[in-house]
Amino acid sequence: MDWLQGGPGFVIAIMAVSYGAWVINNWIRARHGYELEDEWGGKSAPNRPRSDSAETKRLREENRALHDKLDAMQDRMVVLEKIVTDRGYSLAEEIEALRGDRKDAGVPLDLAKKETR
């Protein structure tokens, strides 16, 4: 146990333990995606996947499609909210307005006449 007396072996052992702890610390940080420390205490960003990878392109296209779908659903929701909250709304009048004056709209129902049996 000479190295405990303060000789050069003790200094080398302390340096080895410090360096080993630094390596283990950086390994754990890299494994979990944190920034890494260099030997001077600076930080470097972890390696990220390249932005032009096939998976990134696929995810961007999927994200764009989902945003478009969300926009369409929001537009539909606005229309439905107008329908529900409009006090002067009459479903029959709206249907008739959509039909217009078309002659080929089908056979008109004559609900006013009652069949006599």
- For residues 43-53, give the mean pLDDT: 63
pLDDT score recorded for residue 18: 92
Indicate whether 1 pLDDT > 70. no
Confidence of residue 77 (pLDDT cuts 50, 70, 90): very high
User: Is 7 within 8 Å of 14 (Cβ atoms)?
Assistant: no
Q: In the prediction, which pLDDT does 13 show?
A: 86
pLDDT value at 70 more than 60: yes
Angle 56-57-63 (CA atoms, 0-180°, nearest 5)? 90
Residue bearing the bigger pLDDT, 49 or 69: 69
CA-to-CA distance for 24 and 37, rounded, in angstroms? 12
Give the range among 35-44, 55-64, 102-111 with minimum mean pLDDT: 102-111
Q: pLDDT at position 115, please?
A: 56
Q: Residues 35-58: what's their mean pLDDT? A: 70
Confidence class of residue 75 from pLDDT cuts 50, 70 and 90?
Answer: very high
Strands annotated E in 4-86 = 36-37, 43-44
Whole-prediction pTM? 0.33
